[in-house]
Every structure is written in C-alpha cells, then in structure tokens.
C-alpha cells in the first residue's frame, strides 16, 4: 500500500509543481448523455451514481438478454417511481454489456417514471472474466476502444442511445493482462470521447496502481477516473490520499443497516476538506435476475437524516448528491498537458 501511495504522490506532485493539473471549473462542465439525449451536466439534480435498474449478473454471458419485460416493468417501474418521489432525479445504470444491458428497456423505464437514466459502454472484467467476450482477448486495446467510440458516436444496438460513461472492472489480485488491456482501451476511449472511466476496483490496491500507471502513460488526469466500490477498502486514509490527487471515490454500498459506517467515512472526507470528491450510491438492483429488489433508497430514508443530525448543511448534501456526480460524469477530456 505504501508503495502505491508513494508512486501516486510523486506523479501528482510533479503535476502540481508544473501547473499541469486541469482545473475543474464551471466553464468546463458540459453535458451528460441520458437515454433521452444530452442534458446540461449542471442540471442533473439529486443523483444515484451507481445502481442497476435490472441485470442478469450471475447468469452466463450473453450480448442481448431477453427479459420477461411485462414482469420486469411491473416490479421495476413502481419502485423507480418511489425512488423518484424521494427526490432522485438521475440514475447512472451500471449494468454492463454481456450481463444485461438493454438500453431500450432503460428508455421505457425513463419514459414511465420521469427519471433521467444514464447507460454505459465498456466491458466488465471482474467475476473471473465471465463477461469478457472472446473477441476481447484477440483485439488490441485500440480495436476495443474503437467499438466503444462507435457506441459513443452512433449509439448502442441501433437505438441512437449513447453511453454516458465507460464501465470497466478488475478482478482481485495482481491485475491480469486482459483487465489491464481493457483499462487501456478505456483510457483511449476517454481521450477520444471525454467519457469518464468508472472501474470496479474494490479493495485491490495493485489494480489502483496499474490504473494510475496507465493514466500517467496517456497523460490523463485522475479526474477522469472513478474508483467504484471504494468502500470495500478499509483504509480511509488511503482513499483520502487518492481523492486528494483528483480521483473520484465512489462509496456505493449504502444500506439501512450501515448508516453509522457511512457517516464515519463521510466525516473523514469532511475533516480533510475532500467532500467534493465523494460519490454516494447503493449498488442496488431493481431486477436482479428477476429476483427481489436490492433496494436503493436508504440514502434518502436513513443516511440523509443522519447527515443532518451530524451537522451537514443542505449545501453539503447538494454538493455530494448533485454537484459531485455532475462534475465526475461531465463529458470532457481531462488531459494533462506536460
């Protein structure tokens, strides 16, 4: 862990001294792609930045999943409406290609609920590579990036719906060749499109180091990168160090029963002056292989009341749930010009 911190600190110190870090200003904020097209990134409202409206995670790989759509809609739409009534305006849907991404279904849910929904491009490399298609092993990172850039330019599956971010993932342990290649393809895609790179990383510090090395290789700022499932890592001090270098820290496991844990995490970021680098969500699923809902409302029913009791202002809450995702997912190239 110390080795990772030292390497990241040296790189970021050089960037600070040379004045090469990109500034994240309002003028740079641009748009976000929803299933209904572009919206002003500053107007996304309260946002859940890592959820699943439906998925078939756990089932075999398949490019286009067939859902029982009547049953799906009867479960998902009423729950999504409930979440909307709690104050949610935008949901970033993390169901990736090959385990259930269906942008046509997301659009129907959006139409029926009024929620803004954002989908993704990329390939999910975790789950012991279960959801990596054969072609990914044979194509170069540039060829893989070309596929994702095409989705950005022309839409997904002939729908015209464009992705709003890049979804990637690393398995536990030493980063594999395929996970590393997929991440490099994601960085190349960012350089062409400005899409943010969100990476299932969990507590894998070796993966963090590999990702930062590739960002450095391509002169891409950590501002372009989200550490998803960062709450799986116990060392909050390490998370603070990465946040101070520009990375986005996704604390995406909020549940009714772990409110105190997340209050403690947020306190550390508040004390360090780094609340502006935090993303909050549940990693819930309204249709997990057709099973019972894995809820994504506890932020509003449990965590926010606890935050107010602990002295968080409405401005601070708005920053975490609206301003931060607006800046994290805003489509812009975050290039360091050295």
In this structure, what CATH number is given to the domain that contains residue 122?
A: 3.20.20.140
Residue 237: count other Cβ atoms within 10 Å of its Cβ: 11
In a domain, 335, yes or no: no
Greatest alpha-carbon pair distance for the chain in Å reads: 58
* pTM of structure: 0.94
* Eight-state DSSP code of residue 232: G
- Residue pair 53/76 in contact (Cβ under 8 Å)? The answer is yes
Tens of pLDDT, residue by residue over 93-118, are: 999 999 999 999 999 999 999 999 99
Please give the Cα distance from 247 to 276 (Å, whole number).
Answer: 11
* CA geometry: angle 19, 23, 27, nearest 5 deg: 140
In a domain, 36, yes or no: no
The per-residue pLDDT for 66 is 87
In a domain, 337, yes or no: no
Chain-centre distance for alpha carbon 61: 21
Tens of pLDDT, residue by residue over 57-71, are: 999 998 878 899 999
Q: What are residue 168's DSSP bridge partners?
A: 199
Helices within 194-335 (DSSP H only): 205-217, 236-244, 259-271, 298, 304-309, 314-318, 324-329
In a domain, 196, yes or no: yes
Please give the Cα distance from 109 to 106 (Å, whole number).
Answer: 5
Tell me how many domains the chain contains.
Answer: 1
> Is 195's pLDDT higher than 70?
yes
In a domain, 8, yes or no: yes
* Lookup: tokens for 276: 């502006």
In a domain, 23, yes or no: no
In a domain, 334, yes or no: no
Q: Which domain holds residue 216?
A: 2-13+48-329
Q: What are residue 198's DSSP bridge partners?
A: 167, 226
In a domain, 35, yes or no: no
């Amino acid at each position: 862990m110390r080795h990772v911190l030292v390497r990241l600190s040296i790189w970021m110190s050089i960037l600070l001294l040379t004045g090469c870090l990109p500034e994240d200003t309002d003028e740079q904020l641009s748009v976000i792609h929803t299933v209904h097209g572009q919206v002003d990134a500053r107007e996304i409202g309260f946002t859940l930045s890592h959820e699943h409206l439906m998925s078939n995670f756990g089932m075999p790989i398949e490019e286009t999943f067939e859902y029982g759509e009547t049953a799906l809609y009867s479960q998902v739409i009423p729950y999504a409406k409930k979440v909307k009534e709690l104050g949610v305006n935008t949901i970033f849907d993390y169901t990736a290609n090959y385990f259930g991404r269906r942008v046509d279904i997301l659009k129907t849910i959006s139409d029926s609920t009024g929620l803004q929904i954002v989908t993704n491009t990329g390939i999910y490399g975790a789950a012991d590579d279960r959801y990596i298609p054969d072609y990914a092993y044979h194509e170069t990172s540039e060829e893989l990036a070309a596929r994702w850039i095409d989705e950005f330019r022309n839409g997904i599956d002939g729908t015209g719906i464009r992705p709003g971010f890049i979804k990637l993932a690393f398995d536990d342990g030493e980063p594999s060749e395929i996970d590393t290649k997929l991440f490099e393809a994601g960085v190349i895609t960012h350089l062409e499109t400005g899409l943010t790179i969100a990476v299932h990383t969990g507590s894998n510090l070796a993966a963090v180091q590999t990702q930062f090395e590739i960002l450095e290789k391509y002169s891409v700022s950590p501002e372009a990168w989200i550490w998803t499932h960062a709450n799986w890592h116990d060392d909050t001090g390490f998370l603070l160090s990465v946040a101070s270098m520009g990375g986005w820290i996704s604390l995406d496991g909020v549940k009714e029963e772990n409110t105190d844990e997340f209050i403690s995490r947020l306190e550390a970021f508040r004390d360090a002056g780094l609340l502006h680098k935090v993303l909050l969500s549940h990693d819930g699923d309204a249709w997990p292989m057709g099973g019972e809902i894995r809820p994504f409302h506890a932020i509003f029913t449990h965590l926010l009341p606890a935050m107010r009791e602990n002295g968080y202002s409405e401005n601070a809450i708005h920053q975490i749930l609206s301003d931060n995702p607006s800046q994290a997912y805003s489509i812009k190239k975050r290039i360091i010009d050295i």
